[in-house]
Amino acid sequence: MNEMTLHGYFRSSAAWRVRIALGLKGIAVRQVSRHLRRGGQSAPDHLALNPQGLVPTLEVPGQGALTQSLAIVEWLDETQPGAPLLPADAWGRARVRALAQIVACDIHPIQNLRVLQYVKRQFGQEQPAIDAWARHWIDTGLAAFEARLAEPATGRFCQGDAPGLADLCLVPQLYNARRFGCDLSAWPRIVAIEAACMTLPAFADTYPDRQPDAE
């Protein structure tokens, strides 16, 4: 397969999920930065690939463009060699997807940049209120995530002793949590899993502040 192209932004947690997945699979891609605060995601050439005007977008030579981070990650897992990102058993896969969706479906969309900008603009909210809104939903979601980690399937990582789909959703969300001033001390399992993840190059090397477009 020819080199794929990942359209993202250094601080996008959704794009970071895909960078981690690529790292775990050992896949090198060309990266194109779409600056979210300057409207790069709405450039005509990007909208032609991703009509939502969001990142990430993964261009696959000969096939087209994939959007939505979880769909991209699962496609990578189904088609590319390397470390599996989902368990082999159906129950394990369902559990991992449920953990990932706590972040990707319930926490992240409500504190996404475009949502916060809309709330601020449409309802005249000041930044402290916007930050409090984000912290509330992050705290609520991470509390549920921590509770699920009490299950026996949790090991060094979210599911056993190898990182996968749930971990690559969790770690970027914790980066966002700290940006909004959340106190993570109430969630020791989450913090321990993050620490284990950050010992791995797939997580450490894809950290937002280490990306070429970081600012």
H helix or E strand, kind and range, residue 14: helix 13-25
Task: Say whether pLDDT at 1 is over 60.
Answer: no
* pLDDT for position 49: 97
- Taking all residues of the chain, what is their mean pLDDT, rounded to a whole number? 96
Q: Band the pLDDT of 6: cuts 50, 70, 90.
A: very high
Cβ contact 117:186 at 8 Å: no
Domains of the chain: 5-83+204-210 (3.40.30.10), 90-200 (1.20.1050.10)
Please enumerate, as own/partner, the contacts of 44-52 that have beta carbons within 8 Å and a separation of 24 or more: 46/7, 49/7, 50/7
* pLDDT for position 111: 87
| CA 52 to centroid of chain Cα atoms | 17
Sign of the Cα torsion 154, 156, 161, 165 reads: positive
Over residues 154-178, the mean pLDDT reads: 98
Over residues 51-75, the mean pLDDT reads: 97
H helix or E strand, kind and range, residue 142: helix 127-148
Over residues 209-213, the mean pLDDT reads: 96
Q: Find the helix packing angle between 127-148 and 188-197, rounded to 10°.
A: 90
* pLDDT for position 153: 97
Whether the full predicted model's pTM is greater than 0.85, yes or no, is: yes
Strand partners, 32: 7
H helix or E strand, kind and range, residue 103: none
Task: Say whether pLDDT at 119 is over 80.
Answer: yes
